[in-house]
């Protein structure tokens, strides 16, 4: 606990750095296999790149607002950016220490050596020279740059380059590192039992004298520019929003700079010339290591195929009901069903859509797609349904960040095959993960609904922890049908009494449920709120939670990412306890549970407690009516609340301390949940 304080809200972008710090903790955790630790370094790097492209770029946009207005609104973007730069610099130092002092030696202990060009032996130098001549040289685009003139070159977003200084010259060299064409890592010839891998970067370094043959090379420094990733689309383009987004995707490469990452060994005078040449401010310059784009380590080769170096795969748990009866319509009509990813296979969703596509009694399929996979059995089944003459309605979210091009491309394919394709609306994203199947049974329409917490993507379902509800419950299917009618423009408001649908009633219903818990606590009765979410930002909800805290409501939360709520403060949040779980899978599911005077209410769905999810997105959260499924979700939630291996405490200290073992049993929740579901479905 700490003393009461005036500050009620932590800035989301500052607390997000605490989330990425937890990712870095996993990279440092020596109980994780070395390739998994390497993966967490890649996640850290990928997260940070997106953070700069999106969040930091937004802070920079705020700086364009008149200073007088920023002052009135208490907006202080420069101060935030300075704090971000400081915190990131500290994390980058830790990142480098983990990589150099822990990961590389452990790889070497397993006969895998990541070597630099200066360590090449004579045979490796010859091998590098041959590779350079035959494969690398044709892909290089070297430029000579006069440092006394501005804007002579352009750095593509998130692309790594070499910036080369020459002795006794006003010029510098710029050369691309063609990772997309050749990959980032080159496996060299094996020597006895030892395996050697090098960066593509080092093959260029080794042959830089050939790249700039008429210059005396003084220094070779890797650089990378991060640029604004937002697409600013004028709202006047209402009817052709998808086309405007498609045409605007080029902004991803020529957007405003948000960070220049450079090799910290670059001399100060050269940094100054480069900064001025690119028109950057000092705050835009971020020192880093010799190598950038560590997200490439997702594809780091394993020449040994040693199973000890990675997590052993967990076989998907067969779903008892769906395995016993392959007629999914019968199974779902008899009883609501839950799936849990990645513990169970995404095939059950694909199988159901496939069954619907070929079923003569199915007349229509409606689905909302937020992030569409490049190729999938699900999209193939939707195309098959069109071939069978069924009515298919596909809502495509054209503004799903970094997936716009693929989403719109799929939308065009569906349109060509005769689907009714609806693209997103200005200012509103459709983030819900839903589909609805209409089937004629005994002359009557029977609807089957799906509401999930994760995207319709078979690949990400293997690493994202999500939950999914199949139901034929009329209270849900009737209201989900109204949601689709809103998406189709037939209704303005879905009039839901059971579903929570943003931006229509989710905020109001959450407010009502929290206020009820406050009333119960003030009457001296048991009151409790439990929530598992990705992020917590909405200040109205946070204020209500603080009020509930002061009324004596017990509030227990799992927040994977950032939280603007400050927990553990006397007089403000001493009854609020928050933990965050970072483990081999990405926690992504949202579960809300309210004690409700003993008649517990549980919801799952796509919405976090963020103002965008409550007010600016189409979101759907489903109540769990089936008592068996209620208990199942409660059991899973309780396992996660009890995690004392991978759970960290999120409170005012911002130390990310691990939950201490309070019992003799260690509980690593992701493995405990797997074991729990195995028993339940055996």
Q: What is the mean pLDDT of residues 139-145?
A: 93
Q: Is the pLDDT of residue 664 over 80?
A: no
The DSSP 8-state label assigned to residue 99 in this structure reads I
Residue 232 has pLDDT above 60, yes or no: no
pLDDT at 658: 95
CA 34/CA 309 separation, integer angstroms: 6
Cα dist. 267→43, 147, 219, 609, 623 in Å?
30, 15, 9, 46, 60
Average pLDDT over residues 266-289: 88
Please say whether the structural domain 502-680 has been given the CATH code 3.30.870.10: yes
Q: Using CA atoms, how far apart are residues 513 and 597, in angstroms rounded to an integer?
A: 11
Any idea which of 228-242, 427-441, 573-587 has the lowest mean pLDDT? 228-242
Residue-wise burial string across 360-393, b where 16 or more C-beta atoms lie within 10 A, e elsewhere: eebebbbbbbbbbbeebbbbebbbbbbeeebebb
In this predicted structure, the answer to whether residue 154 has a pLDDT above a threshold of 90 is no
Note whether 483 and 356 are within 8 A (CB): no
Task: Tell me the pLDDT of the chain averaged across its residues.
Answer: 89
The pLDDT value given to residue 229: 58
The response to whether 668 counts as a known ligand-binding position is no
Range of lowest pLDDT (108-122, 144-158, 251-265, 268-282): 251-265
Q: Most confidently modeled of 69-83, 279-293, 378-392?
A: 378-392
Q: Which residues are catalytic?
A: 431
Section 612-630 average pLDDT: 95
Q: Is 47 annotated as a binding residue?
A: yes
Confidence of residue 406 (pLDDT cuts 50, 70, 90): low
Annotated binding-site residue? 232: no
Known binder of ligand: residue 560? yes
| Ligand-binding site membership of 556 (annotated) | no
Minimum mean pLDDT range among 223-227, 416-420, 468-472, 666-670: 223-227
Q: What is the pLDDT of residue 240?
A: 45
Say yes or no to pLDDT of 260 above 50.
yes
Quote the pLDDT of residue 259: 83
pLDDT at 68: 58
Q: How confident is the model at residue 157 (pLDDT cuts 50, 70, 90)?
A: confident
> Rg of the chain over CA atoms, in angstroms?
27
Percent of the chain with pLDDT over 90: 73
Tell me: is residue 37 an annotated ligand-binding position: no
State residue 366's pLDDT score.
97
Under CATH, to which class is 111-301 assigned? alpha beta
Asked if 451 contacts 434 with a C-beta cutoff of 8 angstroms, the reply is: yes
Residue 224, beta-bridge partner list: 160, 261
Work out the average pLDDT over 444-469. Answer: 95
Same-fold call for 111-301 versus 320-494 = no
Instruction: Taking residues 444-456, report their average pLDDT.
Output: 96
The 3-state DSSP class for residue 310 equals coil
Q: What does the domain layout of the chain look like in residue ranges? A: 111-301, 320-494, 502-680
Domain covering 320-494 in this structure, CATH number: 3.30.870.10
Is 50 exceeded by the pLDDT of residue 248?
Answer: no
pTM of the shown model: 0.89
């Amino acid at each position: 606990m700490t003393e009461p304080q005036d500050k009620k809200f932590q800035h989301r972008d500052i607390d997000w750095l605490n989330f990425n710090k937890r990712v870095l903790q996993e990279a440092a955790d020596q109980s994780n296999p070395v390739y998994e630790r390497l993966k967490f370094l890649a996640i850290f790097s990928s997260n940070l790149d997106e953070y700069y492209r999106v969040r930091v770029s937004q802070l920079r946009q705020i700086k364009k607002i008149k200073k007088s207005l920023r002052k009135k609104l208490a907006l202080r973007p420069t101060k935030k950016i300075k704090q971000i730069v400081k915190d990131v610099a500290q994390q980058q130092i830790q990142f480098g220490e983990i990589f150099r002092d822990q990961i590389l030696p452990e790889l070497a202990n397993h006969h895998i050596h990541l070597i630099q060009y200066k360590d090449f032996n004579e045979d490796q130098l010859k091998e590098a020279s041959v590779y350079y001549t035959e494969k690398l040289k044709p892909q290089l685009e070297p430029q000579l740059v006069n440092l006394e003139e501005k804007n002579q070159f352009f750095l593509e977003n998130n692309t790594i380059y070499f910036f080369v200084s020459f002795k006794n010259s006003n010029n510098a060299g710029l050369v691309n590192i063609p990772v997309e064409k050749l990959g980032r890592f080159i496996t060299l010839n094996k020597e006895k039992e030892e395996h050697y891998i090098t960066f593509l970067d080092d093959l260029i370094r080794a042959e830089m004298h050939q790249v700039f043959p008429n210059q005396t090379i003084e220094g070779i420094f890797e650089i990378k520019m991060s640029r604004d990733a937002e697409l600013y689309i004028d709202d006047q383009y209402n009817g052709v929003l998808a086309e405007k987004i498609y045409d605007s995707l080029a902004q991803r490469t020529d957007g405003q700079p948000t960070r220049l990452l450079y090799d910290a060994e670059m001399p100060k005078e050269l940094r100054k010339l480069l900064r001025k040449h690119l028109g950057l401010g000092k705050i835009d310059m971020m020192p880093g290591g010799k190598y950038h784009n560590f997200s490439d380590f997702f594809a780091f080769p394993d020449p040994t195929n040693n199973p000890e170096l990675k997590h052993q795969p967990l076989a998907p748990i067969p779903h008892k009901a769906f395995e016993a009866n392959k007629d999914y319509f019968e199974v779902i009509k008899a009883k609501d069903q839950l799936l849990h990813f990645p513990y169970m296979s995404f095939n059950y969703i694909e199988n159901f859509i496939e069954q619907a596509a070929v079923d003569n009694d199915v007349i229509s399929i409606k689905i909302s797609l937020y992030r569409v996979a490049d190729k999938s059995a699900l999209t193939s089944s939707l195309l098959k349904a069109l071939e069978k003459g069924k009515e298919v309605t596909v809502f495509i979210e054209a503004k799903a960040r970094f997936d716009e091009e693929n989403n719109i491309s799929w939308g065009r394919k569906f349109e060509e095959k005769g689907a009714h394709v609806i693209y997103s609306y200005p200012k509103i994203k459709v983030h819900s993960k839903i589909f609805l199947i209409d089937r004629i049974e005994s002359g009557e329409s029977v609807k089957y609904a799906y509401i999930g917490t994760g995207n319709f993507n078979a690949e990400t379902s293997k690493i994202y922890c999500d939950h999914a509800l199949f139901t034929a419950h009329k209270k849900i299917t009737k209201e989900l049908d109204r949601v689709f009618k809103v998406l189709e423009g037939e209704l303005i408001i879905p009039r839901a009494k059971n579903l929570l649908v943003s931006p229509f009633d989710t905020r109001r219903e959450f407010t009502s449920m929290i206020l009820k818990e406050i009333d119960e606590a003030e009457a001296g009765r048991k009151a409790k709120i439990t929530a598992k979410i990705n992020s917590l930002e909405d200040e109205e909800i946070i204020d209500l939670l603080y009020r509930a805290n002061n009324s004596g409501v017990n509030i227990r939360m799992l927040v994977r990412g950032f939280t603007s709520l400050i927990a553990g403060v006397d007089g403000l949040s001493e009854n609020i306890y928050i933990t965050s779980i970072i483990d081999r899978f990405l926690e992504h599911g949202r579960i809300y549970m309210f004690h409700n005077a003993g008649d517990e209410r549980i919801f799952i769905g796509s919405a976090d407690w963020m103002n965008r999810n409550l007010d600016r997105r189409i979101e759907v959260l489903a109540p769990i009516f089936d008592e068996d499924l209620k208990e199942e979700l409660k059991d899973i939630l309780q396992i996660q609340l009890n995690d004392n291996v991978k759970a960290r405490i999120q409170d005012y200290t911002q130390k990310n301390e691990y939950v201490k073992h309070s019992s003799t049993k260690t509980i690593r929740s992701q493995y405990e949940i797997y074991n729990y579901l195995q028993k339940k479905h055996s």
